[in-house]
Amino acid sequence: MAREFPRTRRVADQIQRELATLIRDEIRDPRVGSVTVSEVEVSRDMAHARVYMTVLGAAADESETAAEVLNGAAGYLRRELGRRMKLRTVPALHFFHDTSFDRGAELTRLIDEAVADDRERGPGNS
């Protein structure tokens, strides 16, 4: 029977929590802004971690810039994770802009437009 919480998922969750704290407290680059770490995926061999992040209230290009900055600081963040976590090897970090927030905002905008259009037509004027 497969375990409900595999080790890679537990490690990914802990990395997500620790990275959120590290980025907030340690990274002082103004291009990073208010970063939200939305998901971490750890490879089966624990060698690599894909970190999906976005900058709240920022355009997609600003989030891409923040991802580049964090990729530049990945070595420092990995070392700090190694000090905070009890792992034999800490995965190499790879940061990516998470587009799901952008898609969600776009869908919300489209729904709001459709609702406003329905209200303008009035009841029974379909």
Min mean pLDDT across 6-15, 20-29, 43-52, 97-106 is at: 97-106
Residue type, 63: S
Whole-number pLDDT of residue 3: 55
Q: Whole-prediction pTM value?
A: 0.77
How many angstroms separate the CA atoms of 63 and 57, rounded?
Answer: 10
Residue 62, pLDDT > 90, answer no
Q: Does domain 7-98 have CATH number 3.30.300.20?
A: yes
Whether 40 and 12 have beta carbons less than 8 Å apart is answered as yes
Largest CA-CA distance found in the chain, in angstroms, rounded:
67
Summarize the confidence of residues 104-113 as an average pLDDT: 86
Q: Which residue ranges make up each domain of the chain?
A: 7-98
pLDDT digits over 67-76, tens only?
999 999 999 9
Distances (CA, A) of 105 to 2, 26, 42, 115: 37, 29, 27, 15
